[in-house]
Amino acid sequence: MAYKCLKCGKIFEEPSEERELRGFVGGDYAYENMASCPHCGGDFEETKKCELCGEEYGSDEIHGGVCIHCINEKRENFDAIYNISIGENASVEINALIATLLDPADINEILRKHIRDNMPNVDCSAYIDEDLDYIGEALAEGRDKL
């Protein structure tokens, strides 16, 4: 088990433990065992291991089991994020003639090809940031590689 300091941000295996005097009770001194970061004495939390890279991170850096760094690597990977988004649809207004000539699957494929061919390094951040936990879970399940 590893821990991350909430003050200095360092990852460590064992917290520092000290006995701290808390007062005098029933004729005896009362002590409390206190655990803290061995680097700075700050509070800490248990880390979680990223399911993709295996590194340890604090809870604010893990989404759906995947670290924010692994998620960030996919922000400009249109095909990976497209694969995750399969089955999710949004409505848009298009020309009425085009809507009668093409079915939604054809329109979708034309737009996908246009984006792949004409928009290199497209930034998918707006979609990713809507639900980081969903994206993390999808990446952990390998849905980006369909």
**pLDDT per position as a tens digit, 15-59:** 999 888 888 888 888 888 899 999 999 999 999 999 999 999 999
Where are any strands of DSSP class E within 9-106? 11-12, 16-25, 28-36, 44-46, 48-49, 56-57, 62-63, 66-67
Decide if pLDDT at 146 tops 80: no
Directed axis angle between helix 132-141 and helix 78-85, to 10°?
100
Arithmetic mean of pLDDT, 82-110: 94
pLDDT, position 140: 97
| Residue 142, CA distances (Å) to 51, 52, 126, 133 in order | 11, 10, 21, 14
Please give the mean pLDDT across all residues of the chain: 94
Q: What is the pTM of this model?
A: 0.77
**What is the rounded distance in angstroms from the CA atom of residue 22 to the CA atom of residue 20?**
6
Instruction: Look up residue 32 and give its two tokens.
Output: 């409390």
In three-state secondary structure terms, 142 is coil
**What is the rounded distance in angstroms from the CA atom of residue 113 to the CA atom of residue 132?**
26
Instruction: Look up residue 17 and give its two tokens.
Output: 């433990």
pLDDT, position 24: 84
pLDDT, position 20: 84
Extents of the domains making up the chain: 1-46, 64-146
Percentage of the chain lying above the pLDDT 70 cut: 100
Closest by Cα among 139, 146, 4 to 74: 139
Contact of 20 with 32, CB cutoff 8 Å:
yes
